[in-house]
């Protein structure tokens, strides 16, 4: 499964990982199901073009290989991407 910067930007744009994981910090199938429901609800409620969100669903969230472990790895990748982005912004200042 290939994760692009566009996918990560979409996750950031819609804050898909905020309040996703319970206080126990465990990423399991119920967390993946919660993400899928959140995304489905977002798409249903949107009036504007949501191509970026649909692409994320097709390429990542609803990918055949996306399981709890894959979601955990995606969350870790997103955290690293955020840190790298902040470091780039700090170095530009």
Task: Read off the pLDDT of residues 10-20 as tens digits, 9 standing for 90 and up.
Answer: 999 999 999 99
Contact 77, 8 (CB under 8 A): yes
Distance between CA atoms of residues 37 and 10, nearest Å: 16
Whether 93 shows a pLDDT value over 80: the answer reads: no
Region 55-69 average pLDDT: 95
CB atoms within 10 A of CB 28: 15
pLDDT band at 49 (very low <50, low <70, confident <90, very high): confident
pTM: 0.90
DSSP secondary-structure letter at 39?
H
């Amino acid at each position: 499964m290939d994760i692009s910067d566009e996918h990560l930007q979409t996750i950031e744009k819609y804050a898909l990982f905020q309040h996703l994981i319970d206080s126990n910090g465990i990423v399991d199938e119920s967390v993946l199901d919660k993400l899928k429901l959140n995304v489905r609800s977002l798409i249903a409620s949107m009036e504007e073009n949501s191509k970026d969100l649909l692409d994320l669903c097709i390429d990542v969230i609803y990918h055949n290989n996306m399981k709890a472990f894959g979601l955990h790895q995606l969350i870790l990748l997103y955290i690293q991407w955020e840190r790298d982005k902040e470091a780039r912004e700090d170095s530009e200042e």
